[in-house]
Protein backbone atom coordinates (compact mmCIF):
# COMPACT_ATOMS: atom_id res chain seq x y z
CA UNK A 1 0.00 0.00 0.00
CA UNK A 2 1.35 3.41 -0.96
CA UNK A 3 2.13 5.98 1.68
CA UNK A 4 0.00 9.10 1.85
CA UNK A 5 -3.44 7.50 1.58
CA UNK A 6 -5.36 5.74 4.30
CA UNK A 7 -6.24 2.10 3.91
CA UNK A 8 -9.88 3.05 4.16
CA UNK A 9 -9.73 5.36 1.16
CA UNK A 10 -7.95 2.89 -1.12
CA UNK A 11 -10.17 0.04 0.01
CA UNK A 12 -13.16 2.21 -0.75
CA UNK A 13 -12.04 2.50 -4.36
CA UNK A 14 -12.99 -1.04 -5.12
CA UNK A 15 -16.05 -1.34 -2.90
CA UNK A 16 -17.65 2.00 -3.69
CA UNK A 17 -17.10 1.94 -7.44
CA UNK A 18 -18.28 -1.65 -7.37
CA UNK A 19 -21.78 -0.64 -6.24
CA UNK A 20 -22.21 2.47 -8.41
CA UNK A 21 -24.09 0.66 -11.13
CA UNK A 22 -26.41 -0.92 -8.67
CA UNK A 23 -27.43 2.53 -7.53
CA UNK A 24 -27.63 4.31 -10.88
CA UNK A 25 -27.87 1.43 -13.30
CA UNK A 26 5.70 22.44 -19.30
CA UNK A 27 5.61 24.24 -16.04
CA UNK A 28 7.13 21.94 -13.45
CA UNK A 29 7.29 22.29 -9.70
CA UNK A 30 9.23 25.41 -8.75
CA UNK A 31 12.93 24.70 -9.08
CA UNK A 32 12.44 21.26 -10.55
CA UNK A 33 12.03 19.98 -14.09
CA UNK A 34 9.93 16.85 -14.47
CA UNK A 35 10.70 14.43 -17.29
CA UNK A 36 7.66 12.47 -18.45
CA UNK A 37 7.47 9.28 -20.46
CA UNK A 38 5.69 11.09 -23.29
CA UNK A 39 8.18 12.40 -25.81
CA UNK A 40 7.82 15.54 -27.89
CA UNK A 41 7.85 13.36 -30.99
CA UNK A 42 4.77 11.48 -29.85
CA UNK A 43 3.00 14.72 -29.07
CA UNK A 44 3.67 16.08 -32.53
CA UNK A 45 2.44 12.89 -34.10
CA UNK A 46 -0.95 12.98 -32.43
CA UNK A 47 -1.59 16.61 -33.19
CA UNK A 48 -1.35 16.30 -36.95
CA UNK A 49 -4.74 16.35 -38.61
CA UNK A 50 -4.98 14.05 -41.61
CA UNK A 51 -8.02 12.67 -43.37
CA UNK A 52 -7.41 9.07 -44.23
CA UNK A 53 -9.95 6.60 -45.57
CA UNK A 54 -9.51 2.93 -44.84
CA UNK A 55 -11.60 0.04 -46.14
CA UNK A 56 -14.93 0.04 -44.35
CA UNK A 57 -15.11 -2.50 -41.54
CA UNK A 58 -17.27 -5.54 -41.94
CA UNK A 59 -20.86 -4.66 -41.10
CA UNK A 60 -22.26 -6.43 -38.07
CA UNK A 61 -25.75 -6.46 -36.72
CA UNK A 62 -26.65 -4.86 -33.44
CA UNK A 63 -27.34 -8.32 -32.06
CA UNK A 64 -23.78 -9.46 -32.78
CA UNK A 65 -22.08 -6.29 -31.53
CA UNK A 66 -22.05 -7.40 -27.92
CA UNK A 67 -18.44 -8.03 -26.96
CA UNK A 68 -16.49 -5.01 -25.71
CA UNK A 69 -13.06 -4.84 -24.10
CA UNK A 70 -12.13 -1.79 -22.05
CA UNK A 71 -8.39 -1.23 -21.89
CA UNK A 72 -7.39 1.08 -19.04
CA UNK A 73 -4.18 3.06 -19.05
CA UNK A 74 -1.27 1.72 -17.01
CA UNK A 75 -2.76 3.24 -13.84
CA UNK A 76 -5.72 0.88 -14.01
CA UNK A 77 -8.67 0.84 -11.68
CA UNK A 78 -8.55 2.52 -8.30
CA UNK A 79 -7.87 6.16 -9.17
CA UNK A 80 -11.25 7.28 -7.80
CA UNK A 81 -11.71 9.32 -10.95
CA UNK A 82 -10.69 8.74 -14.57
CA UNK A 83 -10.31 4.97 -14.96
CA UNK A 84 -13.02 4.21 -12.44
CA UNK A 85 -15.46 6.48 -14.27
CA UNK A 86 -14.66 4.62 -17.51
CA UNK A 87 -15.54 1.42 -15.69
CA UNK A 88 -18.79 2.99 -14.53
CA UNK A 89 -19.83 3.88 -18.09
CA UNK A 90 -19.03 0.40 -19.35
CA UNK A 91 -20.96 -1.25 -16.55
CA UNK A 92 -23.95 0.96 -17.33
CA UNK A 93 -23.73 -0.18 -20.95
CA UNK A 94 -23.60 -3.79 -19.83
CA UNK A 95 -26.79 -3.39 -17.83
CA UNK A 96 -28.75 -1.20 -20.22
CA UNK A 97 -27.52 -2.40 -23.62
CA UNK A 98 -26.92 -6.08 -22.92
CA UNK A 99 -23.28 -6.13 -24.01
CA UNK A 100 -20.59 -8.42 -22.67
CA UNK A 101 -17.87 -6.29 -21.05
CA UNK A 102 -14.31 -7.32 -20.24
CA UNK A 103 -11.50 -5.26 -18.73
CA UNK A 104 -7.74 -5.27 -19.05
CA UNK A 105 -4.85 -3.13 -17.79
CA UNK A 106 -1.49 -3.23 -19.62
CA UNK A 107 1.53 -4.10 -17.52
CA UNK A 108 3.59 -1.16 -18.77
CA UNK A 109 3.84 1.50 -21.47
CA UNK A 110 6.00 -0.85 -23.54
CA UNK A 111 3.31 -3.52 -23.37
CA UNK A 112 0.55 -1.34 -24.85
CA UNK A 113 1.30 -1.64 -28.57
CA UNK A 114 1.96 -5.41 -28.73
CA UNK A 115 -1.11 -6.00 -26.57
CA UNK A 116 -3.29 -3.90 -28.85
CA UNK A 117 -1.96 -5.62 -31.97
CA UNK A 118 -2.57 -9.06 -30.48
CA UNK A 119 -6.15 -8.21 -29.54
CA UNK A 120 -6.81 -6.66 -32.93
CA UNK A 121 -5.40 -9.67 -34.77
CA UNK A 122 -7.65 -12.05 -32.85
CA UNK A 123 -10.71 -9.94 -33.67
CA UNK A 124 -12.59 -11.31 -30.67
CA UNK A 125 -14.20 -8.00 -29.68
CA UNK A 126 -16.62 -5.80 -31.59
CA UNK A 127 -15.11 -2.74 -29.89
CA UNK A 128 -11.86 -1.99 -28.11
CA UNK A 129 -12.24 1.00 -25.78
CA UNK A 130 -8.89 2.64 -25.05
CA UNK A 131 -8.90 4.84 -21.97
CA UNK A 132 -6.49 7.75 -21.92
CA UNK A 133 -3.83 9.62 -23.86
CA UNK A 134 -1.18 6.94 -23.41
CA UNK A 135 -3.00 4.76 -25.96
CA UNK A 136 -2.62 7.38 -28.71
CA UNK A 137 0.63 6.23 -30.31
CA UNK A 138 -0.11 2.48 -30.00
CA UNK A 139 -3.47 3.03 -31.70
CA UNK A 140 -2.03 5.23 -34.41
CA UNK A 141 0.48 2.49 -35.24
CA UNK A 142 -2.13 -0.29 -35.16
CA UNK A 143 -5.48 0.91 -36.50
CA UNK A 144 -4.62 0.86 -40.23
CA UNK A 145 -3.40 -2.74 -40.00
CA UNK A 146 -6.78 -3.98 -38.78
CA UNK A 147 -9.52 -2.04 -40.58
CA UNK A 148 -12.15 -4.56 -39.46
CA UNK A 149 -11.52 -3.76 -35.78
CA UNK A 150 -13.39 -0.84 -34.20
CA UNK A 151 -11.58 1.36 -31.67
CA UNK A 152 -12.82 4.08 -29.33
CA UNK A 153 -10.05 6.29 -27.95
CA UNK A 154 -11.21 8.17 -24.85
CA UNK A 155 -9.75 11.56 -23.90
CA UNK A 156 -7.26 11.71 -26.77
CA UNK A 157 -7.00 11.73 -30.55
CA UNK A 158 -4.56 10.31 -33.07
CA UNK A 159 -5.40 13.26 -35.30
CA UNK A 160 -6.28 10.82 -38.09
CA UNK A 161 -9.87 10.34 -39.23
CA UNK A 162 -10.50 6.63 -39.82
CA UNK A 163 -13.65 4.63 -40.47
CA UNK A 164 -12.77 2.19 -37.69
CA UNK A 165 -11.77 4.75 -35.03
CA UNK A 166 -13.76 7.12 -32.85
CA UNK A 167 -11.84 9.63 -30.72
CA UNK A 168 -13.79 11.27 -27.90
CA UNK A 169 -12.17 14.34 -26.36
CA UNK A 170 -13.30 16.67 -23.60
CA UNK A 171 -13.28 20.43 -23.51
CA UNK A 172 -11.24 20.53 -20.31
CA UNK A 173 -10.68 24.28 -20.71
CA UNK A 174 -14.36 24.85 -20.00
CA UNK A 175 -14.58 23.11 -16.63
CA UNK A 176 -11.09 24.26 -15.62
CA UNK A 177 -11.98 27.88 -16.30
CA UNK A 178 -14.91 27.65 -13.87
CA UNK A 179 -12.71 25.94 -11.28
CA UNK A 180 -10.08 28.65 -11.78
CA UNK A 181 -12.62 31.31 -10.83
CA UNK A 182 -13.79 29.32 -7.81
CA UNK A 183 -10.26 28.47 -6.61
CA UNK A 184 -9.29 32.14 -6.83
CA UNK A 185 -12.27 33.20 -4.77
CA UNK A 186 -11.68 30.53 -2.13
CA UNK A 187 -8.01 31.39 -1.92
CA UNK A 188 -8.77 35.02 -1.15
CA UNK A 189 -11.19 33.94 1.57
CA UNK A 190 -8.28 31.97 3.05
CA UNK A 191 -5.88 34.91 2.83
CA UNK A 192 -3.84 33.94 -0.25
CA UNK A 193 -3.57 35.29 -3.79
CA UNK A 194 -1.93 32.13 -5.17
CA UNK A 195 -3.75 29.02 -6.35
CA UNK A 196 -2.14 25.71 -7.27
CA UNK A 197 -2.71 22.62 -9.37
CA UNK A 198 -1.22 19.15 -8.89
CA UNK A 199 -0.79 17.61 -12.35
CA UNK A 200 -0.03 14.11 -13.61
CA UNK A 201 1.82 14.44 -16.91
CA UNK A 202 2.60 17.18 -19.42
CA UNK A 203 0.22 15.92 -22.13
CA UNK A 204 -2.48 17.52 -24.33
CA UNK A 205 -5.49 16.99 -22.02
CA UNK A 206 -3.52 18.68 -19.23
CA UNK A 207 -2.52 21.52 -21.58
CA UNK A 208 -6.23 22.18 -22.00
CA UNK A 209 -6.79 22.04 -18.25
CA UNK A 210 -3.91 24.46 -17.80
CA UNK A 211 -5.24 26.96 -20.33
CA UNK A 212 -8.65 26.90 -18.65
CA UNK A 213 -7.37 27.12 -15.07
CA UNK A 214 -5.16 30.11 -15.86
CA UNK A 215 -7.96 31.73 -17.83
CA UNK A 216 -10.39 31.35 -14.91
CA UNK A 217 -7.89 32.87 -12.49
CA UNK A 218 -7.27 35.84 -14.78
CA UNK A 219 -11.00 36.20 -15.43
CA UNK A 220 -11.49 36.50 -11.67
CA UNK A 221 -8.62 38.99 -11.54
CA UNK A 222 -10.06 41.10 -14.36
CA UNK A 223 -13.57 41.17 -12.91
CA UNK A 224 -12.62 41.78 -9.26
CA UNK A 225 -9.34 43.66 -9.50
CA UNK A 226 -7.73 41.08 -7.19
CA UNK A 227 -4.46 39.68 -8.61
CA UNK A 228 -4.04 35.91 -8.77
CA UNK A 229 -0.88 33.86 -9.26
CA UNK A 230 -1.05 30.26 -10.50
CA UNK A 231 1.39 27.50 -9.57
CA UNK A 232 1.32 24.54 -11.93
CA UNK A 233 3.13 21.51 -10.47
CA UNK A 234 3.79 18.48 -12.67
CA UNK A 235 4.43 15.24 -10.77
CA UNK A 236 5.17 13.00 -13.76
CA UNK A 237 2.78 10.29 -12.60
CA UNK A 238 -0.90 9.45 -12.27
CA UNK A 239 -0.38 6.54 -9.90
CA UNK A 240 1.63 7.67 -6.86
CA UNK A 241 -0.28 9.27 -3.94
CA UNK A 242 2.95 9.60 -1.92
CA UNK A 243 4.46 11.81 -4.62
CA UNK A 244 1.22 13.79 -4.77
CA UNK A 245 1.37 14.39 -1.04
CA UNK A 246 4.99 15.51 -1.21
CA UNK A 247 4.40 18.05 -3.99
CA UNK A 248 1.25 19.35 -2.35
CA UNK A 249 3.11 19.96 0.89
CA UNK A 250 5.66 21.99 -1.08
CA UNK A 251 2.88 24.15 -2.48
CA UNK A 252 1.28 24.65 0.93
CA UNK A 253 4.65 25.80 2.28
CA UNK A 254 4.65 28.49 -0.41
CA UNK A 255 1.39 29.88 0.95
CA UNK A 256 -0.93 28.22 -1.58
CA UNK A 257 -4.16 27.31 0.17
CA UNK A 258 -6.20 25.79 -2.67
CA UNK A 259 -4.83 22.88 -4.74
CA UNK A 260 -6.68 21.50 -7.80
CA UNK A 261 -6.13 17.76 -8.23
CA UNK A 262 -5.38 16.81 -11.85
CA UNK A 263 -3.30 13.69 -11.35
CA UNK A 264 -5.60 10.69 -10.98
CA UNK A 265 -4.60 8.51 -8.05
CA UNK A 266 -1.60 10.76 -7.43
CA UNK A 267 -3.80 13.60 -6.26
CA UNK A 268 -5.27 11.38 -3.55
CA UNK A 269 -2.03 12.36 -1.84
CA UNK A 270 -3.08 16.00 -2.10
CA UNK A 271 -6.20 15.18 -0.13
CA UNK A 272 -4.07 13.67 2.62
CA UNK A 273 -1.68 16.63 2.57
CA UNK A 274 -4.33 19.32 3.07
CA UNK A 275 -5.96 17.39 5.90
CA UNK A 276 -2.67 16.85 7.72
CA UNK A 277 -1.61 20.45 7.12
CA UNK A 278 -4.60 21.81 8.97
CA UNK A 279 -4.12 19.26 11.75
CA UNK A 280 -0.47 20.29 12.22
CA UNK A 281 -0.61 24.01 11.46
CA UNK A 282 -4.16 24.93 12.39
CA UNK A 283 -4.52 26.61 8.98
CA UNK A 284 -7.54 25.94 6.78
CA UNK A 285 -6.53 24.73 3.30
CA UNK A 286 -8.53 23.02 0.57
CA UNK A 287 -8.17 20.60 -2.30
CA UNK A 288 -10.43 20.43 -5.34
CA UNK A 289 -11.34 17.07 -6.90
CA UNK A 290 -11.66 16.22 -10.57
CA UNK A 291 -13.48 13.77 -12.87
CA UNK A 292 -15.73 12.18 -10.22
CA UNK A 293 -17.39 13.96 -7.32
CA UNK A 294 -14.66 13.44 -4.74
CA UNK A 295 -16.04 15.53 -1.88
CA UNK A 296 -17.10 12.43 0.08
CA UNK A 297 -13.47 11.39 0.58
CA UNK A 298 -12.93 14.32 2.96
CA UNK A 299 -15.83 16.82 2.86
CA UNK A 300 -14.09 19.10 5.37
CA UNK A 301 -11.23 19.74 2.94
CA UNK A 302 -12.72 19.05 -0.53
CA UNK A 303 -15.61 21.48 -0.93
CA UNK A 304 -15.95 21.10 -4.70
CA UNK A 305 -14.96 18.94 -7.68
CA UNK A 306 -14.76 19.37 -11.43
CA UNK A 307 -16.39 16.66 -13.50
CA UNK A 308 -15.14 14.98 -16.65
CA UNK A 309 -17.81 12.52 -17.73
CA UNK A 310 -15.60 9.72 -18.93
CA UNK A 311 -18.53 7.41 -18.16
CA UNK A 312 -20.67 9.27 -20.71
CA UNK A 313 -17.95 9.00 -23.37
CA UNK A 314 -17.49 5.26 -22.87
CA UNK A 315 -21.21 4.55 -22.80
CA UNK A 316 -21.77 6.64 -25.95
CA UNK A 317 -19.08 4.79 -27.89
CA UNK A 318 -20.49 1.39 -26.93
CA UNK A 319 -24.03 2.50 -27.74
CA UNK A 320 -23.09 3.36 -31.34
CA UNK A 321 -21.80 -0.16 -31.89
CA UNK A 322 -24.86 -1.77 -30.34
CA UNK A 323 -27.34 0.39 -32.26
CA UNK A 324 -25.46 0.30 -35.55
CA UNK A 325 -24.86 4.07 -35.64
CA UNK A 326 -21.08 3.84 -35.57
CA UNK A 327 -19.26 6.59 -37.44
CA UNK A 328 -15.53 7.17 -37.31
CA UNK A 329 -14.28 10.61 -36.43
CA UNK A 330 -13.20 13.01 -33.69
CA UNK A 331 -15.73 14.35 -31.19
CA UNK A 332 -15.48 16.65 -28.18
CA UNK A 333 -17.76 16.92 -25.15
CA UNK A 334 -18.06 20.17 -23.20
CA UNK A 335 -20.45 22.00 -20.91
CA UNK A 336 -23.17 22.16 -23.54
CA UNK A 337 -22.91 18.43 -24.28
CA UNK A 338 -22.88 17.43 -20.61
CA UNK A 339 -19.33 16.13 -20.86
CA UNK A 340 -17.80 18.39 -18.21
CA UNK A 341 -19.04 20.52 -15.33
CA UNK A 342 -18.94 21.22 -11.61
CA UNK A 343 -20.22 18.57 -9.21
CA UNK A 344 -23.71 19.55 -8.09
CA UNK A 345 -24.96 18.98 -4.56
CA UNK A 346 -27.13 16.16 -5.89
CA UNK A 347 -24.02 14.47 -7.31
CA UNK A 348 -22.17 15.03 -4.04
CA UNK A 349 -24.98 13.29 -2.21
CA UNK A 350 -25.19 10.42 -4.68
CA UNK A 351 -21.51 9.59 -4.42
CA UNK A 352 -21.68 9.96 -0.63
CA UNK A 353 -24.56 7.49 -0.56
CA UNK A 354 -22.40 4.90 -2.29
CA UNK A 355 -19.67 5.43 0.31
CA UNK A 356 -22.22 5.17 3.10
CA UNK A 357 -23.52 1.83 1.86
CA UNK A 358 -20.11 0.25 2.43
CA UNK A 359 -19.43 2.05 5.72
CA UNK A 360 -16.70 4.35 4.45
CA UNK A 361 -17.94 7.73 5.70
CA UNK A 362 -16.60 7.19 9.21
CA UNK A 363 -19.38 8.41 11.48
CA UNK A 364 -20.98 10.50 8.75
CA UNK A 365 -24.15 10.08 6.75
CA UNK A 366 -24.67 11.29 3.17
CA UNK A 367 -26.73 14.14 4.58
CA UNK A 368 -23.81 15.05 6.85
CA UNK A 369 -21.50 15.21 3.83
CA UNK A 370 -23.95 17.41 1.97
CA UNK A 371 -24.32 19.71 4.99
CA UNK A 372 -20.55 20.11 5.39
CA UNK A 373 -20.04 20.75 1.68
CA UNK A 374 -22.92 23.21 1.49
CA UNK A 375 -21.60 25.09 4.53
CA UNK A 376 -18.07 25.27 3.11
CA UNK A 377 -19.29 26.44 -0.27
CA UNK A 378 -21.42 29.10 1.39
CA UNK A 379 -18.56 30.28 3.59
CA UNK A 380 -15.70 30.20 1.08
CA UNK A 381 -17.36 30.66 -2.33
CA UNK A 382 -19.10 34.00 -2.15
CA UNK A 383 -22.07 35.11 -4.25
CA UNK A 384 -19.76 37.37 -6.23
CA UNK A 385 -17.75 34.34 -7.28
CA UNK A 386 -20.79 32.24 -8.16
CA UNK A 387 -22.07 35.13 -10.27
CA UNK A 388 -18.79 35.17 -12.19
CA UNK A 389 -19.00 31.40 -12.66
CA UNK A 390 -22.54 31.62 -14.02
CA UNK A 391 -21.58 34.51 -16.28
CA UNK A 392 -18.61 32.66 -17.71
CA UNK A 393 -20.52 29.40 -18.06
CA UNK A 394 -23.25 31.14 -20.04
CA UNK A 395 -20.68 32.67 -22.40
CA UNK A 396 -19.28 29.18 -23.01
CA UNK A 397 -22.62 27.42 -23.41
CA UNK A 398 -24.01 29.89 -25.92
CA UNK A 399 -20.82 29.86 -27.97
CA UNK A 400 -19.95 33.48 -27.26
CA UNK A 401 -16.44 32.36 -26.39
CA UNK A 402 -14.60 29.25 -27.56
CA UNK A 403 -11.27 28.15 -26.12
CA UNK A 404 -8.19 27.29 -28.13
CA UNK A 405 -6.80 23.77 -27.93
CA UNK A 406 -2.99 24.16 -27.99
CA UNK A 407 -1.40 21.86 -30.53
CA UNK A 408 2.14 21.94 -29.13
CA UNK A 409 4.05 22.72 -25.96
CA UNK A 410 5.26 25.92 -27.59
CA UNK A 411 1.73 27.11 -28.32
CA UNK A 412 0.65 26.21 -24.77
CA UNK A 413 3.56 28.15 -23.31
CA UNK A 414 2.84 31.21 -25.44
CA UNK A 415 -0.83 31.23 -24.39
CA UNK A 416 0.12 30.98 -20.72
CA UNK A 417 2.63 33.81 -21.13
CA UNK A 418 -0.08 36.01 -22.62
CA UNK A 419 -2.55 35.07 -19.90
CA UNK A 420 -0.04 35.92 -17.18
CA UNK A 421 0.35 39.32 -18.85
CA UNK A 422 -3.40 39.85 -18.64
CA UNK A 423 -4.36 39.07 -22.25
CA UNK A 424 -7.30 36.72 -21.73
CA UNK A 425 -8.18 36.67 -25.42
CA UNK A 426 -4.96 34.75 -26.11
CA UNK A 427 -6.73 31.63 -24.82
CA UNK A 428 -9.73 32.07 -27.12
CA UNK A 429 -10.33 30.81 -30.63
CA UNK A 430 -13.57 32.78 -30.76
CA UNK A 431 -14.94 35.78 -28.87
CA UNK A 432 -13.38 38.27 -26.49
CA UNK A 433 -13.53 39.26 -22.84
CA UNK A 434 -11.55 42.48 -23.28
Residue 20 has pLDDT above 60, yes or no: no
Q: How far apart are CA 17 and CA 192, in angstroms?
A: 35
Question: Helix and strand tally (H, E) in the chain?
Answer: 15, 16
Q: Which pLDDT does position 25 carry in this prediction?
A: 35
Confidence of residue 151 (pLDDT cuts 50, 70, 90): very high
Torsion of CA 154, 157, 158, 164, to 10 degrees: 60
Read off the pLDDT of each residue in 314-328 and give the average, rounded to a whole number.
Answer: 96
Domain ranges for the chain, please list them: 52-170+311-333, 172-308+346-430
Mean pLDDT of the chain: 86
pLDDT tens digits, 379-408: 999 999 999 999 999 999 999 999 999 999
Read off the pLDDT of each residue in 134-144 and give the average, rounded to a whole number.
Answer: 97
Q: Which pLDDT does position 248 carry in this prediction?
A: 98
Confidence of residue 64 (pLDDT cuts 50, 70, 90): low
- b/e burial code for range 147-179 (CB count within 10 A of at least 16 → b): bebbbbbbbbbbbbbbbbbbbbbbbbbbbbbbb
Instruction: From 275, 266, 270, select the one nearest 299 (Cα to Cα).
Output: 275
Which stretches does DSSP call E strand in 272-430?
A: 286-291, 305-308, 329-333, 340-342, 402-403, 428-430
Q: How far apart are CA 258 and CA 281, in angstroms?
A: 15
Q: Which pLDDT does position 399 carry in this prediction?
A: 96
CB-based contacts of 171: which residues, under 8 Å, 6+ apart?
A: 208, 332, 333, 334, 335, 339, 340, 403
Residue 328 has pLDDT above 90, yes or no: yes
Read off the pLDDT of each residue in 165-183 and give the average, rounded to a whole number.
Answer: 97
Confidence of residue 63 (pLDDT cuts 50, 70, 90): low
Q: How far apart are CA 145 and CA 321, in angstroms?
A: 20
Read off the pLDDT of each residue in 311-319 and give the average, rounded to a whole number.
Answer: 95
CATH superfamily of domain region 172-308+346-430: Response regulator (3.40.50.2300)
Residue 41 has pLDDT above 80, yes or no: no
**Would the CA dihedral through 317, 319, 324, 325 be positive or negative?**
negative
Q: How far apart are CA 384 and CA 407, in angstroms?
A: 34
Read off the pLDDT of each residue in 122-142 and give the average, rounded to a whole number.
Answer: 96
Q: Which pLDDT does position 59 carry in this prediction?
A: 39
Residue 38 has pLDDT above 80, yes or no: no
Q: How far apart are CA 137 and CA 124, in angstroms?
A: 22
Which class would CATH give 52-170+311-333? alpha beta
* 81-85, 181-185, 246-250, 399-403: segment of lowest average pLDDT: 81-85
Contact yes or no for 219/425 (Cβ under 8 A): no
Q: Which pLDDT does position 79 carry in this prediction?
A: 63
The two domains 52-170+311-333 and 172-308+346-430 share their CATH topology (first three levels equal): yes
pLDDT tens digits, 345-386: 999 998 898 778 878 788 899 999 999 999 999 999 999 999
Residue 23 has pLDDT above 60, yes or no: no
Amino acid sequence: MRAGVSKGVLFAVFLIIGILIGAAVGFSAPGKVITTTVTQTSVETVTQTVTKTTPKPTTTTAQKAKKVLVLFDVGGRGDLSFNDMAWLGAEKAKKELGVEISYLTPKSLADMKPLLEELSRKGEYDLLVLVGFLWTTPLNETADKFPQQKYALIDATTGVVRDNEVDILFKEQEVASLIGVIASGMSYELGSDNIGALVGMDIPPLWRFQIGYYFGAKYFEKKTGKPVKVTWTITGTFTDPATGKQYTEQMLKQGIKVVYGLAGATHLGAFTAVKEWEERKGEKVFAIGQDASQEWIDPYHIPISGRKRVDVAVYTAIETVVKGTWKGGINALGLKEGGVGIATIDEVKWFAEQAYQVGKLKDMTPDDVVKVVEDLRKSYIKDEVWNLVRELEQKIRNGEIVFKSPMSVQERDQIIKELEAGNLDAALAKGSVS
